[in-house]
Amino acid sequence: MKAAMAEELASRTGALTRLREYISEVRAEMRRVTWPNKQEIYSTTVMVIITTFLFGGYFMICDKAFSALMVRILNYFSHRP
């Protein structure tokens, strides 16, 4: 019984130690991060928005073309005797 309790306490202590080490390592790594400045954030945000609209337009054109193609194919085969 005492061995089980000692083992449980050791595992909890080990878990707490690992948690403390993890938090310490995360803090150390976060100090090394180079954060983007306001201009970099603005320019990348604008680039993402422009790219999103370009891809949206591209996929809209593809969708219209494939839809027209499917309508033609379905009409061709549905009006055949």
Query: In terms of domains, do 16 and 42 share one?
Result: no
pTM higher than 0.85 for the full model? Answer: no
pLDDT the model gives residue 17: 87
Instruction: Give the position of tokens 């680039």.
Output: 47
Say what percent of the chain tops pLDDT 70.
83
Q: Are residues 29 and 52 in the same domain?
A: no
- Residues 6 or more apart whose CB falls under 8 angstroms from that of 12 comprise none
Cα separation, 33 vs 27, whole angstroms: 10
Residues 25 and 43 in one domain: no
Residue type at position 28 = A
Average pLDDT on 35-43 reads 96
**Domain ranges, residue 2:** 1-33
Residues 78 and 50 grouped into a single domain = yes
For residue 28, the model assigns a pLDDT of 95
State whether 40 and 22 are in the same domain.
no
